[in-house]
Each structure stands twice: as structure tokens, then as C-alpha cells.
Amino acid sequence: MRASGTLRRVLFGTTAARVGTFLLAVIVFLAVFGPLISPHDPRQVVTRPYSAPSAEHWLGSNDIGQDIFSEILWGTRVSLLIGLLAAGVAILVGTSIGTIAALAGGRVDAILMRITDVVLTVPFLPLAIVLAAFLGASLWNTALVIALVIWARPARVVRSHGIGICCLAYVDAAHALGGGFRHVLVRHVLPGVIPLALSQFILATSGAILTEASLAFLGLGDPVQKSWGTILFYAQARGAFLNGSWPWWVIPPGLLIALTVLSFVLIGRSLEEVLMPRLRSRHAA
């Protein structure tokens, strides 16, 4: 009952949370059922190139006559999957490094944080471009590249929170009673940082979706996979802004990216305020 009540407060506690939940529910619905409700196969030529929106093709067609509406429906699943995979790996790595650094302290903390600082100081997008070019274009490589460039910030945030937890009396008592490093880490420190890690995961997902779109727009995504970023890449490369097809070829995927990021940000902030009440007073101030 308590868990369900907390989830209800996170998703529906404020107007912003309700807006974010509604937007995310629509996006998830499209990701799950999009290929089933898609009117056409996005890889098949079904009409004339650069066709304007019509009753049969709601968002017109691209440069080779593929249905753009179907492309967007299929691309929703790919973009969301990459975002979730990249964020999951990044939070797993960041939380592990952050909690170990917080509890170990000393030289271990210094080494891990210097590595984290190096990743943070390297320009974000250029690093992602170099890694993407080195690893090659595929869905899994794209998710891995994004995870490698976004794990450092969650690691820093989790470490800061973990240091506060390590100073609490019950952690000192666990050490005094002979609790080893692994025992204290798993039983006492990790449970305290999980709420923060969850909020960081939600925010990292939005950042990962944006990064995937950026890499795909630059031609570093998987050209075989239909994602919002690859749709934007082909729209730009095939002259959508020159021939006037940009209103139905560029705006819909761009708008979906913006709304998806907004939904994750709104839910992430709500999660922080519910699971970490001290942030509520900080935001109010």
C-alpha cells in the first residue's frame, strides 16, 4: 500500500507530474503498439516521393515514397529503447562508482573521482561522436556510446549523497559491529541512494534520447533502424527544407523528441520531491 501510494504521488501528485505522466503514457503506447497500428511498412515505397499529407498518408511521404507517419511510429520504439538502455547502463556504472567512492574514501575516492572529472571535462557531444565513429553504427553500439558519456554526472551526484549517508550513525554502528565493506555498501549505503539513482535514471533517459537524435542527425546512427533521429537526418540530407516538405517531415519527429524529454523531466522532478523531501523545500526557496 505504501509503495502504491508513493507511486501515485510521483505520477499524479502535481499538475506537472500529471502532464508528464500523460505524455509518457502516450509515448510508451506508441512504442509498444506503434508497429501494430502502423498503416504501412515504413521500409516499403507506398506512394510518390515528397507527397503532401493526405487521408491515406497523414504525414505525407519522404524522398523515396515511404510513409512518414509509419516511420515515426516505428521510430518511437527504437528511440525509447536506446534511451532506456543507455540510461540503465549509465546509472548502473555511475551508482556503483559513486557509492564505492563515498564509502571507501581516501585514495580509492580520489582515483575514481579523477576519472569521473576527466569524463565530465571532455566536451559531451564531440566525445560521443568520436566513440560512435570508432565503435560503428548499430543500435547496441549507440546505446553503449551514450552510456559511456553520461555516466559521470550521476556518479558525482550519487557520491555526494552517499558521503552524507556514510556519516550517519547507523552506518558507523554497522562498522563498529564488524560489518565489512561489502555488507555496509549493500545493506546500508545502496538503499539510501536508490531514490536518487531512480531520479537520475529518468533524467538520464531524456538526455540519452536527445543524444541519440543528435548522433543520428549527424549520420552516426544506425541507418537501418528507423528512429526519430534518422528521420531528421534523412529529412535534412534529402532537402526537406528546400522543397517545402519540412512541415510534415521535420516537425513531427522533432516535436515528439521535445515532448518525450519534457515528460521525463517532469516525472523526474516529481520523483525527487516525493522520495527526497528535502529537495521540495529547496525548490520552494
Reported as a single tens digit per residue, the pLDDT across 107-125 is 999 999 999 999 999 887 8
Task: Tell me the mean pLDDT in the region 32-56.
Answer: 93
Share of the chain above pLDDT 70, in %: 95
Give tens-digit pLDDT for 172-195. 888 888 888 888 988 889 988 998
User: CA–CA distance from 154 to each of 65, 74, 171, 204, 211 (Å)?
Assistant: 43, 30, 22, 8, 16
The answer to whether the CB of 128 falls within 8 A of the CB of 208 is no
**Residue 19 cell numbers, joined:** 502532464
The answer to whether the CB of 97 falls within 8 A of the CB of 278 is no
Give pLDDT, residue 83.
95
pTM of the predicted model as reported, rounded to 2 decimal places: 0.89
Residue 280 has pLDDT above 60, yes or no: no
pLDDT band with cut points at 50, 70 and 90 for residue 2: low
Q: What is the mean pLDDT of the chain?
A: 89
- Domains in the chain, ordered, with CATH? 2-284 (1.10.3720.10)
Phi, psi of 67 (to 5 degrees): -75, 120
Pick 137 or 143 by higher pLDDT: 143
Read out DSSP for 31-80?
Answer: HHHHHHH-SS-TTS--S-TTPPP-SSSTT-B-TTS-BHHHHHHHHHHHHH
